[in-house]
A = this chain, B = another copy of it.
Amino acid sequence: MELRHLRYFVTVAETCHFGRAAEQLHIAQPALSHTVRQLEDELGVALLARTTRQVRVTPAGEFFLGEAQRVLSAVESGVRGVQRIGEGQLGLVRVGFTGTAAFSHLPHLARALAQRVPQVELEVHAELLTAEQCEQLRDGSLGIGVLRPPVTGDDIDYRVIEVEPLVLAVPADHRLAVEPVVATTDLRAEPLVTYDGRNSVVHAAVLRSCRDAGFTPHQQHQAPGTAALLALVAGGLGVGVVPASARSLPLAGVVFRDLAGAATVELALAWHRETSSPLVNTVLAELEDVFPSARPPAEAGS
């Protein structure tokens, strides 16, 4: 049995007329008669009761008509679906986020995509370091990464969407909390809450800032992420240096201050260079509008 049999039978059953059905199907009537007969032979059931004058649909035919129509429309919708996937209009894309980016950028990103490509589902993976995201972009478990350059390896393409300065997070009752602007050198004597990640780009930028300011920070406490880091700051265990986007994470007892002379960190969209997924390409194309490229980073220190 082939779909042809179903298509032919459905047309005949709907018109109750071999001649007109053949016309609709753009085939000759004998071919239609033959094919429908073939279907009935294979099923072993009479679907149509033919007299030489008219055609009726048997109860079995009535049932099979419904089934065949369902099958045909399932095929049709399946074809449409797979074509939409082929065009990248439908499907699931896994997006990885570094540290605070999930809080600062995910809302805008999700809302924009929901509006532009509503049939695209997002699966968010948060708190992923750059290296982890690169690896997952390579093995396909991520389609798009929101990470902090630089990336390792040349098979990952990326586009910087934001250059953000590091800012200071201090307990609300801290002496620096009332200063309008704080200089990096002011942190020389402060106990610093830092990230515990060895591969954290932000962590490296923090250390570089201190080194540029001429001191090595006291890293008394370490946190596995920005949220935890801010919690430790709120607890008065020290001050923190975090990307400006951490301001999206207001936490009682923590205030942010601009940090003069601090390094900047970049945020970028990243993807595998040979992305075979049209879905990822579509989403990336949409995100060109949503997150325009930021100016190439002003290299502060090498």
Question: Chain A interface (Cβ within 8 Å of chain B)?
Answer: 1-4, 6, 43-47, 49, 58-60, 63-64, 67-68, 70-71, 74-75, 77-79, 81-83, 85-86, 91-92, 276-277, 279
Contacts and interface: CB of A to CB of B under 8 A. Distances in A.
Contacts of A81: 63-64, 67
Given A45-B83, A63-B85, 14 more contacts: A1-B3, A2-B2, A43-B82, A59-B91, A59-B277, A60-B85, A63-B81, A64-B81, A67-B74, A67-B77, A68-B78, A71-B71, A71-B74, A74-B74
A273 to B, nearest CB: 16
A83 B44 contact: yes
A27 to B, nearest CB: 15
11 contacts: A1-B75, A2-B4, A43-B83, A47-B82, A60-B82, A63-B81, A63-B85, A64-B78, A67-B82, A70-B74, A74-B74
Number of copies: 2
A115 B71 CA distance: 32
B63 A71 contact: no
Contacts of A4: 2
Contacts of A68: 78
B3 A79 contact: no
Contacts of A1: 3, 75, 79
Given A2-B2, A45-B82, A49-B276, A71 B75 contact: yes
Nearest to A7: B2
A91 B60 CA distance: 9
A91 to B, nearest CB: 6
Contact of A2 (B3, B60, B64): B3
A1 to B, nearest CB: 6
Contact of A43 (B3, B45, B71, B86): B86
Contacts of A70: 74, 78
A1 B76 CA distance: 10
Contact of A71 (B59, B64, B78, B91): B78
Question: Which of the listed residues A43, A46, A60 has the most CB atoms from chain B within 10 Å of its own CB?
Answer: A60
Contacts of A63: 81-82, 85, 91
Nearest to A74: B71
A6 B79 CA distance: 11
A124 to B, nearest CB: 18
Nearest to A90: B63
A9 to B, nearest CB: 11
